[in-house]
Amino acid sequence: MKITVGCIFLLVSSAVFAQVTQIWGCRGTDSNGFNWVGGAWEKAGLVAEDFVIALDEVEVDVSTLEFRNSDKFNFGCYQFEEYWRCIGHVEGLFFVLNTSTGEAGLSKMHGALGLTRVRDPVSVSIAQCAKL
């Protein structure tokens, strides 16, 4: 009896945990931003990047976004109706997704903070996403 109950618990918990994360594949469609050059910001035409985002429906603080170049960022996300809104654990990283249309936006604003002598580019990207 204990074995049967244990097996049922494992099957049910696996099914529950398999459903708590939404995986979205996103193709970057446009991107623009600024690079810090010689102590001033210069406009930069940036290449839109593709990425995958795992949105956790249970744990608000464990969503991750990964680019093709293996850069990975952790987010705190919440869902309101068909919209996901995420704030990165790295200062100045924001992500939004409309689950009805798949339209998404990603901004990397860390470089604008000037926390170090070397500044990261500041960018805004638009993507089209599909649930995987």
Q: Is the pLDDT of residue 103 over 90?
A: yes
Res 17: pLDDT: 39
Instruction: For residue 125, list its beta bridge partners.
Output: 31, 106
Res 69: pLDDT: 82
Summarised one tens digit per residue, pLDDT across range 1-38 is: 444 433 333 333 333 334 468 999 999 999 999 998 88
Res 45: pLDDT: 83
**E runs forming strands in the chain:** 21-37, 40-44, 51-56, 63-67, 72-80, 83-88, 93-98, 103-108, 122-131
Q: What are phi and psi of 21, to 5 degrees?
A: -120, 130
Summarised one tens digit per residue, pLDDT across range 53-100 is: 999 888 777 889 999 888 899 999 999 999 999 999 877 899 999 999
Q: What is the mean pLDDT of residues 44-51?
A: 89
Q: Which residues of 1-39 are buried (b: 16+ CB within 10 A; e: fewer)?
A: eeeeeeeeeeeeeeeeeeeeebebebebeebebbbbeee
**pTM, to two decimals:** 0.78
Res 13: pLDDT: 33
Res 23: pLDDT: 94
Largest CA distance in the chain: 72
Q: How far apart are CA 48 and CA 129, in angstroms?
A: 13
